[in-house]
Structure 1
Amino acid sequence: MKNKNPIIPFQEQIKIVNSNKYVDIAVSEEDTDKLIAWDKYKFDLIFKGDDWKGTPKWVRYEEEFSMRN
């Protein structure tokens, strides 16, 4: 987290997200490269903060993901 202390500890956050019936699995980010995560999990959706929207990195991910589906 970007120099912020979380109110809810990470392990509890994972439990909360995993308890949602619409979530197959919530995992910690092992690598910041989302394509590596996709290769491992083959996810349908990914959620990131809106501070990523429109950045060159995210535009590249959108292009790469569109070719993989």
Structure 2
Amino acid sequence: MQRARCYLIGETAVVLELEPPVTLASQKRIWRLAQRLVDMPNVVEAIPGMNNITVIYVILSRWRWMP
């Protein structure tokens, strides 16, 4: 199994990046994950890249306190 690293981009996005090598099998897993994530609550967008996926989400706790 490939190792992966995960890191935040600002407060509303996270990237999951697989270690090389880039394979069709790992890319297909990323595409499937993107398809599943778009149906999840709080996910705004799932953007598959080459051997990575960026997920943009909404932080609900922030909206509860806004006037």
Alignment TM-score, normalising by the size of structure 2: 0.31
Higher helix share: 1
Larger relative contact order (Cα-Cα within 8 Å, sequence gap ≥ 6): 2
Which has the larger share of strand? Answer: 2
TM-score, normalised to structure 1's length?
A: 0.30
